[in-house]
Amino acid sequence: MNKKEYDVLGLGTVAVDDLLYVPAYPLSDSKIQVERIERQPGGLTGTALAAAARLGAKCAYAGVLGMDDLSEFILDSFKRQGVDVTHLKKQPDARPYHSTIIVDTTHKTRTIFFDLSGAIGADPHWPAEEVILSSRVLFVDQTGVPGMIRAAGIARRAGIPIVADIELKDLPGMPELMALVDHLILPFQFAGEVTGKTDPAAALKALWTADRDTVAVTDGAKGCWYLTRSLPGQVCHQPAFQVQVVDTTGCGDVFHGAYAAALAEGMAITERIKFASAVAALKVTRPGGQAGIPDRFKVEKYMKEHI
């Protein structure tokens, strides 16, 4: 099938975060009244797709979710964001990741209790091959590695680019999955763990293979380093845009989503990395992971004023 139905197809991590705001983190065996409770959608793939959709890409999520209220919350938020869920697989025992986050509003700390039970991500036999082939970019992460390997294999054989965000290395099949990825974008700390290298250039070189198109490492306010096929052997650095930091939640996920959207549009590598950096920087200026994602108009205006 050559007709492209979707710009970016994702299969992996979706998460529900319940934030409980309290004046101080309580001692054990005590009680405390919460000031406010908020439920927010998140997850590497969930937030990347939300960002790509906000920037104008046609996105779809085709991982596995269940029938519980957490799954419904994710479905509703995808629908509101314009992310297509036609090809979602429903399975009674499946759920998103679920975190309860205690936010101490006086001391500005966050304590996270996370529950991964029921989280499936990519199914090993789902979605149908045609769905993968009808996408311009496949987005993969670490949830459901066998399903990711299958999907990435199908995409590879069809010449469909694969963008990956990975933060966990010791999972069965991970080396095989990483080998299939042609746009590998990792947080620098994780890239350091995988390669044993302590500087970005050395980590990039260790991650490079002839099968890759681009390898990038991101390092928060220090920006992003990348190696790319069209500039052989040259380690490039994109500084982070200087912004007033309000909330960095999800900025790496947003960077990935913006990169994937730009790739689906055919944006060249230097502009693509700059664009993703600007989108992530604007996110940092607003509270909330997905709530803080800027729209296209805001990004273009910002880039005109700051480049």
Ligand X SMILES: Nc1ncnc2c1ncn2[C@@H]1O[C@H](COP(=O)(O)OP(=O)(O)OP(=O)(O)O)[C@@H](O)[C@H]1O
Token readout for 186 is 């990792």
Under DSSP, the state recorded for 121 is B
Question: Which positions lie near Mg ion, rule CB under 5 A?
Answer: 187, 252
Residue 252 or residue 292: which is nearer to Mg ion going by CB? 252
Indicate which of Mg ion, ligand X, none lies near residue 259 (CB less than 5 to 8 Å, by partner kind): none
Here's the x/- map for ligand X, 211-250, by CB under 6 A: it reads as -------xxxx-xx---------------xx-x-x--x-x
Closest approach of ligand X to the CB of residue 246, in Å: 10
Decide which of ligand X, Mg ion, none touches 223; Cβ closer than 5 to 8 Å per partner kind: ligand X
**221: nearest Cα among 239, 197, 198, 244:** 239
275 binds ligand X (CB under 6 A): no
Q: Taking Cα atoms as reference points, which of 251, 264, 260 lies closest to residue 294?
A: 251
- Give least dist CB 307 to ligand X, A: 14
Distance of alpha carbon 38 from alpha carbon 20, whole angstroms: 7
Measured from the CB atom, the residue of 67 and 246 that comes closer to ligand X is 246
Annotate 30-51 with DSSP letters as a single string.
-----SEEEEEEE-HHHHHHHH
The answer to whether the CB of 283 falls within 8 A of the CB of 34 is no
Q: How near is the Cβ of 247 to ligand X at its closest, in Å?
A: 10
Which span (55-63, 135-143, 276-284, 293-301) binds ligand X, by CB under 6 A?
Answer: 276-284
142 binds ligand X (CB under 6 A): no
Q: In the chain, which ranges are continuous DSSP H helix?
A: 44-54, 69-81, 129-133, 145-157, 174-180, 188-195, 200-207, 251-265, 269-284, 296-306
| Residue least distant from ligand X (Cβ) | 252
User: 91 is in the binding site of which of Mg ion, ligand X, none (Cβ under 5 to 8 A by kind)?
Assistant: none
Q: By CB under 6 A, name the one of 155, 215, 284, 299 that touches ligand X.
A: 284
In the 8-state DSSP scheme, what is residue 29? T
- Bridge-based pairing of strands 15-22 and 36-42 is antiparallel
Kindly state whether residue 269 participates in binding ligand X, applying the rule CB under 6 A. Answer: no
Residue 220, Cβ density class (10 Å: 0-12 exposed, 13-18 middle, ≥19 buried): middle
What backbone phi and psi angles, to 5 degrees, belong to 182?
Answer: -100, -15
- Closer to Mg ion by Cβ: residue 99 or 134: 99
Number of residues that bind ligand X (CB under 6 A): 21
CB 130, min distance to ligand X, A: 31
Site of interaction with ligand X (CB under 6 A): 187, 218-221, 223-224, 240-241, 243, 245, 248, 250-253, 255, 277, 280-281, 284
